[in-house]
Amino acid sequence: MEIYLAETEQAIAACYPVMHELRPHLRLETFGQRIREQQSQGYQLACLDVEGAPAAVAGFRICNNLAWGRFLYVDDLVSLPDQRSCGYGGQLLAWLKEYALNEGCDQLHLDSGMQRKDAHRFYEREGMTATGYHFAQVLI
C-alpha cells in the first residue's frame, strides 16, 4: 500500500475509475482536464494504491477563512466498492490529517450528502463531528 499525490497525466487518469464511483457524472475524456483546472486553484489528488492500482482517492485543498483559519478541505473521498471495509478510507483520511498538520492547518473539513449514511458513520468513527448543514441553490 502506498499513498501519493497524483500529479502526472497517467497517475491522474488511473484515479478516474475510483473517482467515478463518487462522481458518476464525470467522463474519462474530460477528467484530466478538470483535475488540471482545479489544480490551478490549489486542488490536489491523493491516491492510495494497492498492488499498483488505485483503491481509494481523495481530492482536497488547503484554504484560509475567517471562521476556521487555515484548514484542509476534502472535496472528494472515495474507495472502490470492492475495496471498502479494508481500512483504506481510514488510512487515506489519516494521511490527509497528517498532511494538514504538516501544512500548518488547524482543522480538516468536508461536506457529505445527506443520503450517505454509511459515510457519516465512517467519518464519526474517524473522530469527525457533524457541525452543520450545507445549503445550495442551482442558478442556471
**pTM (2 d.p.):** 0.93
List average pLDDT for each run of 10 residues in the chain, which is 140 residues long: 96 97 96 97 97 96 97 96 90 97 97 90 94 91
pLDDT of residue 134: 87
**Domains, the chain, with CATH or none:** 2-125 (3.40.630.30)
Report in angstroms the alpha-carbon separations of 34 from 25, 78, 103.
12, 18, 24
The Cα–Cα gap between 2 and 37 comes to 25
